């Protein structure tokens, strides 16, 4: 699973829904049975979505999006980053897996980083998502609160370690964001037809 380049490029294809759904459920702690119960599906159907043998139907996808949105609205430790349509999820993360986020100087573009389970190693791997800040103002405020909480809690050594880690991650995110935006600019420029003399 890869991050979308921009929030406007965020359509999750039907064939990809199961993979995203599996990660999101693992992130927020929903079991197969819990998800099935929430959306009136069978556990076997959800398992088939997760392993890719069946695609999530449009009707079930809308129910899932409503459940994810509700979960993010009612739990202080869960957020959903949405696409430019204001509803389609780009990322679902919790305070526990959150690493850091950066809002660019234009106050329009942001990027968030978190730790995801890596099925290939059984460990965790960093993930990131670029998104439009305006559609995610509440999520950005919550991310800022999570960062502030981490900066204030723990021993002086833990806080110092967190600040150093956060600084390094922030530099990495800023660099990644600049590269992604540069690539987007190059792609757009390459798509402009040239006038012939």
Residue-range domain boundaries for the chain: 7-189
So what's the pLDDT on residue 1? Answer: 42
Q: What CATH number was assigned to the domain covering residues 7-189?
A: 1.10.260.40
- What integer is the mean pLDDT of 46-73? 94
Q: Tokens standing for 77? A: 């430790």
How far is Cα 177 from Cα 5, in angstroms, rounded to an integer?
10
Q: Per residue in 124-150, pLDDT tens? A: 777 888 899 999 999 999 999 998 888
Q: Tokens standing for 114? A: 């978190």
* Parallel/antiparallel/unpaired status of strands 98-103 and 109-117: antiparallel
Instruction: With cut-offs at 50, 70 and 90, classify the pLDDT of residue 157.
Output: confident
- What integer is the mean pLDDT of 160-170? 78
């Amino acid at each position: 699973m890869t991050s979308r380049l921009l929030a406007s490029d965020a359509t999750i294809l039907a064939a990809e829904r199961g993979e995203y759904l599996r990660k999101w459920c693992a992130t927020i702690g929903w079991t197969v049975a819990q998800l099935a119960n929430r959306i009136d599906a069978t556990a076997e159907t959800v398992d088939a979505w997760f392993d890719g043998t069946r695609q999530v139907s449009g009707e079930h996808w809308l129910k899932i999006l409503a459940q994810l949105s509700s979960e993010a609205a009612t739990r202080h430790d869960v957020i959903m980053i949405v696409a430019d349509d204001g509803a389609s999820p780009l990322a679902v993360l919790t305070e526990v897996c959150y690493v850091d986020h950066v809002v660019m100087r234009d106050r329009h573009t942001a990027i968030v980083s978190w730790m995801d389970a890596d099925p290939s190693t059984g460990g965790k791997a960093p993930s990131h998502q670029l998104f439009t800040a305006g559609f995610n103002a509440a999520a950005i405020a919550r991310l800022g609160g999570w960062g502030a909480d981490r900066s204030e809690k723990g021993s002086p050594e833990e806080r110092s370690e967190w600040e150093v880690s956060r600084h390094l991650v922030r530099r990495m995110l800023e660099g990644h964001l600049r590269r992604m935006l540069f690539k987007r600019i190059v792609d757009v420029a390459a798509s402009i037809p040239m006038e012939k003399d």
